[in-house]
Structure 1
Amino acid sequence: MKKLLFPVCFSLWFGLSANAQSEGLTGSPYSMYGLGTTNQLSLGKSNALGRSGIALPGNTEINNQNPASYASVFDKSFLFDVGFQSEYNHYSNKISDESKWSFNFSNLAFAFSLSKRSGIGLTLIPYTNVGYTLLGVSSNIEGSDEQFKSTITGVGGLNALRINYGYRLSDKIRLGVSASYLFGSIEENEFFSIGSSYFEMNEDTFYNGFRPGLGLQYDITKNFSAGATVQFPVSLQGNMDRTVTKTLDGASVIVEDQEGDDVPDFKLPTEAGIGIYFSPFKGFSVNADYRRNFWSATEQTDNIGKYKDQDIFGIGVEYLKDARGLEYTDRIRYRAGFTANNGYLSINNKKVGGYAITAGLGLPINPNTHSMLNISYSYGQKGQLSNILVKENYHFITLNVSLEDLWFIKRKYD
């Protein structure tokens, strides 16, 4: 299998990393603020576990929640994970309702053991998502009482390319370090007309920066573990290309064309988290996480709000009847979870929080390895029908192919 798996992994890797973020990755109206909505999805099974997993070991599947988990990758194992997502958004305010579907890739990752005590991996995952359309936005004509209406669209977002390394300090303690390269662009297009003239403005804003992180996992007992992570603050550097085109009587003229203009840095806060993992009896396990993002320390504001500290909670459970059962249904993993956060953007002194209920299945692919087809579903809600806020209901479906291959194992029979 490894003769086929290895080239497939890297051909997919280079193909997707060349265009990691594409249009239509989200339909959330809240993606117009800041760098877009922060991606809460991860790899493999954690999407069905309330997006928790700080203390979860990564011996059979990649766990991107904590770099320390890479130290638990089984010796001589190679793990690969590719994921896709589909999102349905329904949002409403006091005036109207709208809906939108979107579909895209959600992650690409691989990991392998370096020794019996250490492991390493690389992941590519969207970090923020932008996808919105505003119709009939009214603006005043400068020096006049007259108004014109615009159509404004925004697409894009940032990606996170992260390398994770984990080392087993002892039989109970695992340490991890990560380094993320955040990169991407946000494109905003505005189209409007004044009299017989048509104007179109395009702004492409590019951001990039490096972000380090640390992780710890500690096995208190055989069935109970604790974990902690921290992502350090970083200022993302940005620049913008801007073009304004005027069309009159079918002839287009470039009114403005600027490249590489500096824009203010966008500050990402310190993100800290703690979690526990325990298995009260064979075949049943529980994950519970708490994270805090210290947005207030960045002292940033948006056009209509301020950034405030954010609290995120997640809990998930998994049940497996018999990992070596003769019946296929005995080897299916059943998962469920819940996650909630109080938001990081405060509008009119009201934070835009939300919650999600998750469920999923882990379907074995190969009885001789830990390869798994992970399917998850999430129903969530954010915002509220008050003041200028929008209430958003969304449905997420994720599909992850999580493969395991064994290297340097001699066959007993040819």
Structure 2
Amino acid sequence: MRRRVQVFALVLSLTAPALTRAQGLGNSPYSALGVGEPYNPTNAANLGMGGIGVSNASPFYLNMQNPALLARRGRFTAFEVGLIGQYKPQISQLRAGQTQSQRDFGANLNYVALAFPASSRWTMMLSLRPYTYVDYSTKSYGRVLRNNTNTIYEAEYTYSGRGAINKAAYTTGFRLGKNIYVGAEAGFLFGNITNNSDARVLINDVAPTSQQLNPQPQDIVVSRSNRVLYNDFVWRLGAGWRPKLSEKWSLNLGATIDPATRVGATETDVYQQVSLGTGTGGGGNSLSDEDTLRANVASSIRLPQQAHFGISIEQINKLMVGLDVGFQRWSQFQAVNGRSGNLLDAMTIGVGLEYMPKANSTKYWDLVTYRAGFQVNQTPYLVDGQRVKDVNGSLGLSLPMGSYFVNYVNLSVQGGQRGALVGSQIRERYVRFALGLSLNDWWFRKPVLD
């Protein structure tokens, strides 16, 4: 067992720097809002069935959505690692009556987790995963105003952001009696996000050169950079109930709550004005020294309360059909210094099913688990008076491997659309791919001699 712990520690040491450097799943204009684009807390298996997992769990792969259901794992120690990628064949927006589009791709490590039983009723888990990411760059143009009147000069406005928040967590789940489960998760958020805004007055089309006798004025750029570091604890509580309906069928009920909480933040805000040539030989001269408006000023943000509920019906080792509903009170969100996030309350509805043809078969494909699901998200974003919606469908399967078929390769694909070509909304069509590896073994067995 000592060697296995060393292997887990090695994997964790390799993946922690990767998570720290990772910037998410590619360009996401909506990540400019709030604390960025939230990662879905599901693992690769649950992603393939509409992301549901508040009420349903399996002994062979981890449930990262409801801490209480860890206690359904039994005697196996489980190690899981997951990867996720996202391809956006279309990121589109209406500009001046025409549709402008681009493509994008991004990939990242999705989670690393180790769960082990403390007793027959108690299971614990250590995990590391990304929490949110920021990755966007937008550009717009407009006339420079003077005394509320347009001048002859045009300005270029550029907004960009990069960064991520990660989450390291300790999770514990207990079974009370035969079919009641309770659990809790203590997570530590850490990471940083940088948002930049540049306003550039366009004066020249050609940069000045040293040969010019009368060099023309250079373009002027006003630049502002805001960097916030986050580090603090967050919590999640969960419960589950699994009454039997008959000898083969059971009903699963589950609920989780993430209480509203303050997260510590440290903000640095820097302002500078420079001149810039627009041609190929251009460069720049500082017109002012960097003006640090805030330097490592302690502050905080307020993350909103979130609640999720799930119900599913299950035929043991055969079929499971479920429904999850989630509510996120993003209207309560506050950015650093108490600034409003201008977000709305959000809701998520997911349905999914899981099917294994024949658990006691000797044929390989009878032991493969198949999944499908559908999800509708009412996002917290409001653009031009229209709510941004996200609709997607998913498919997945788990391929058993190893001598006793207790290890699995989990594959899932999810395709959907967020936003619509209405007003200035941005429409994103995306395909997400998830790959997970679930390794199960007995780590804490007493040796027995015959």
TM norm. shorter chain > 0.5: yes
Partner of 2:260: 233
Partner Cα separation in structure 1 for residue 12 and residue 314 of structure 2 = 35
Whether the 8 Å contact between 2:236 and 2:258 is mirrored in structure 1 is yes
Deviation string, structure 1 residues 247-290 (Cα, Å, up to 9, x no partner): 66757655334663448633221111111222247511112111
Single out whichever of 387-396 and 254-263 deviates more from structure 2: 254-263
Residue among 100, 103, 108 paired with 1:99: 103
Partner Cα separation in structure 1 for residue 114 and residue 146 of structure 2 = 54
- Specify whether residues 368 and 313 from structure 1 end up closer, same or farther in structure 2 by C-alpha distance, changes over 3 A only: same
Partner of 2:86: 87
> What does residue range 62-81 of structure 1 map to in structure 2 within 5 Å?
62-75=62-75, 77-81=76-80
Whether the 8 Å contact between 1:78 and 1:404 is mirrored in structure 2 is yes
Single out whichever of 42-51 and 257-266 deviates more from structure 2: 257-266
Deviation string, structure 1 residues 209-233 (Cα, Å, up to 9, x no partner): 3222211111111522111111100
Partner of 1:158: 165
Matched, 1:273 2:302: no
Partner of 2:398: 362
- Specify whether residues 411 and 334 from structure 1 end up closer, same or farther in structure 2 by C-alpha distance, changes over 3 A only: farther
Partner Cα separation in structure 1 for residue 195 and residue 361 of structure 2 = 54
Partner Cα separation in structure 2 for residue 29 and residue 251 of structure 1 = 29
Deviation string, structure 1 residues 181-214 (Cα, Å, up to 9, x no partner): 2222112344565552565544322223322221
Whether the 8 Å contact between 1:85 and 1:397 is mirrored in structure 2 is yes
Pairwise CA distance, 1:400: 0.8
Partner Cα separation in structure 2 for residue 98 and residue 413 of structure 1 = 65
Deviation string, structure 1 residues 71-117 (Cα, Å, up to 9, x no partner): 12212x21111111111122111131111111111111111110111
Whether the 8 Å contact between 2:34 and 2:343 is mirrored in structure 1 is no
Partner of 1:14: 13
Residue among 215, 218, 232 paired with 2:241: 218
Higher Cα radius of gyration = 2
Deviation string, structure 1 residues 381-406 (Cα, Å, up to 9, x no partner): 11111122111111100111111121
Partner Cα separation in structure 2 for residue 82 and residue 262 of structure 1 = 37
User: Unaligned regions of 5+ residues in structure 1, if any?
Assistant: none
- Specify whether residues 3 and 327 from structure 1 end up closer, same or farther in structure 2 by C-alpha distance, changes over 3 A only: farther
- Specify whether residues 141 and 406 from structure 1 end up closer, same or farther in structure 2 by C-alpha distance, changes over 3 A only: farther
Single out whichever of 317-326 and 278-287 deviates more from structure 2: 278-287
> What does residue range 38-77 of structure 1 map to in structure 2 within 5 Å?
38-75=38-75, 77=76
Residue among 180, 187, 190 paired with 1:183: 190
Task: Output the aligned Cα RMSD.
Answer: 2.9
Deviation string, structure 1 residues 58-81 (Cα, Å, up to 9, x no partner): 422110110101112212x21111
Partner Cα separation in structure 1 for residue 298 and residue 387 of structure 2 = 26
Matched, 1:291 2:306: no
> What does residue range 109-258 of structure 1 map to in structure 2 within 5 Å?
109-138=113-142, 140=144, 145=151, 146-190=153-197, 193-194=200-201, 195=203, 196=218, 199=221, 201-221=224-244, 223-244=250-271, 246=274, 250=283, 253=286, 254-257=289-292
Whether the 8 Å contact between 2:300 and 2:335 is mirrored in structure 1 is no
Q: TM-score, normalised by structure 2?
A: 0.83
Residue among 368, 374, 386 paired with 1:350: 386
SS in 1 for 2:229: strand
Partner Cα separation in structure 1 for residue 400 and residue 364 of structure 2 = 8
- Specify whether residues 265 and 280 from structure 1 end up closer, same or farther in structure 2 by C-alpha distance, changes over 3 A only: same
- Specify whether residues 384 and 164 from structure 1 end up closer, same or farther in structure 2 by C-alpha distance, changes over 3 A only: same
Partner Cα separation in structure 2 for residue 26 and residue 282 of structure 1 = 38
Partner of 1:380: 416
Whether the 8 Å contact between 1:183 and 1:208 is mirrored in structure 2 is yes
Partner Cα separation in structure 1 for residue 92 and residue 339 of structure 2 = 21
> What does residue range 298-337 of structure 1 map to in structure 2 within 5 Å?
298=333, 306-337=342-373
Q: Percent identity?
A: 25
Partner Cα separation in structure 2 for residue 229 and residue 142 of structure 1 = 54
Partner Cα separation in structure 2 for residue 250 and residue 350 of structure 1 = 42
Partner of 1:392: 428
